[in-house]
Amino acid sequence: MTAQEKTARAKRLVVKIGSATLTTSESSIDYGFLDDLAAQLAQVRQAGWEPIVVTSAAIACGLEALGIAKRPEDMPSLQAAASVGQSALSTAYAQAFAPYDMLTSVVLLTRRDTADRSAYLHARDTLNRLLELGVVPIVNENDTVSVEQIRFGDNDTLAALVACLIDADLMVILSDIDGLYTANPQIDPAATLIPQVDRVSRDILAAAGGAVSGVGSGGMITKIKAARVLMAAGIPMVICQGRTPEAIVDVAAGKSVGTLFTAPERPHEITPKKLWIALGDAVHGTVVVDEGARAALVERGKSLLSVGVRAVKGDFDYDDVIDVADETGHVFARGKAAATSDLIALAVGKTREEVAANRLLSILADKPIIHRDELVVFE
């Protein structure tokens, strides 16, 4: 979508709601919260936004309906609860939004749907058409059929994917914490709120720490990783306390609420294909590169060559999505592998001339490990 086309259409807002925000302390649906959510989204629609909701809590709602007090550990029980809960959750959204003449729909996704490029594009087209028809899509992971290999694992990643799919103008994560703090505020009383983040540095990732809620499957670190991709895509993101009065309305109006992750102009082109690589599939491994390779990728927009690789982690095949980390372990890019992990590992430590002289490795002498067109740089 061109800048002119984006300016011509309504602004798009993705609102992600965590399980801890959407449910009561007894893990049942908080209908009062849903009523308030609908009222706020009605206001932002009046202000020219097209909202889309990424929700959690299907399993929690199913357990409530089934009268199961303790969350099961076996997958069939969890998926059965999700099946029951998704129905209850969808009905609750529809009833809350109906007084404002807002029609909702249900969109259930798994990584299998987004790992395939064609399915990814079909999902994008469906969401775009729903918004054109004035519908408020309610998106959730399809926990009924998801297994570990195809799960997003957290709806922060799913929400970022949806934001990229529809080329959103803003994403808001409604959480049970006010935003990103310098440390975990439940442990460190000296922790202070960080109102704005312009770059996801090592310090920011360290500040994210672990999960602060026992209800959801994500944590602050998953939110920061989602923000990192959105910033690369040019989409600002806000993390805020979901029960703050008028939080969505205020964020949409540009007021300071929670932590804002800005989206400065990027030095490299971020295409839809690159966004699919960044979020559409699970990461299968990591290549660790030296400082020279890092500079070439970040500052000069180059492809990654084998001579810059210092280590290979994990087993991956040709065309798998892999992370790129520096020698401190900091992940700064992600891309599609143009060779297998075994082949790349054999080339580690060798010069270009040595690679070219080796009949097994010669293909890597001039061929990139990751081509620039299939690489997303987060910095």
CATH number of domain containing 75: 3.40.1160.10
Residues 48, 146, single domain; the answer is: yes
Task: List the domain range (segments joined by +) for residue 316.
Answer: 283-377
Are 213 and 143 contained in the same domain? yes
Residues 236 and 91 in one domain: yes
> Which conformational region is residue 337 in: left (phi greater than 0), alpha (psi within -120 to 50 degrees), or beta?
beta
Statement to judge: residues 234 and 154 lie in one domain: yes
CATH number of the domain that 338 lies in? 2.30.130.10
Specify the range with the lowest mean pLDDT, choosing from 42-56, 125-139, 196-210: 196-210
Is 270 inside a domain boundary? no
288 with 250, same domain: the answer is no
Domain count, the chain: 2
Q: pTM (2 decimals)?
A: 0.81
Residue 277 domain-assigned? no
pLDDT tens-place string over residues 173-188: 999 889 999 888 878 8
Residues 92 and 175 reside in one and the same domain = yes
CA separation for the pair 167, 118 (Å, rounded): 17
**Residue 169 domain-assigned (yes or no):** yes
Residue 69 has a pLDDT of 79
Task: Kindly state whether residues 151 and 300 are assigned to the same domain.
Answer: no
pLDDT of residue 25: 65
Residue 269, domain member (yes or no): no
What are the tens digits of pLDDT across the range 328-358?
998 999 999 999 999 999 999 999 999 999 9
> Are 322 and 239 contained in the same domain?
no
Determine, yes or no, domain membership for 267. Answer: no
Do residues 77 and 222 both lie within one domain?
A: yes
E-strand ranges in 7-95 read: 11-17, 49-55
- Of the three residues 227, 261, 295, the one that is the final residue of a domain is 261
- Do the domain assignments include residue 278? no
Please indicate, yes or no, whether residues 102 and 144 belong to a single structural domain of this protein.
yes
Give the model's confidence band at 292: pLDDT under 50 very low, under 70 low, under 90 confident, else very high.
Answer: very high
Any domain includes 271: no
Instruction: Please state, in angstroms and rounded to a whole number, the distance separating the CA atoms of residues 226 and 237.
Output: 9
3-state secondary structure 336-379: ECCCCHHHHHHHCCCCHHHHHHCCCCHHHCCCCCECHHHEEECC
Which pLDDT belongs to residue 214? 37
Which is nearest to 320 in space by CA: 369, 271, 377? 369
Query: Are 330 and 254 in a shared domain?
Result: no
Rounded to whole angstroms, how far apart are CA atoms 71 and 66?
11
In a domain, 275, yes or no: no
Q: Verify that 291 and 171 share a domain, yes or no.
A: no
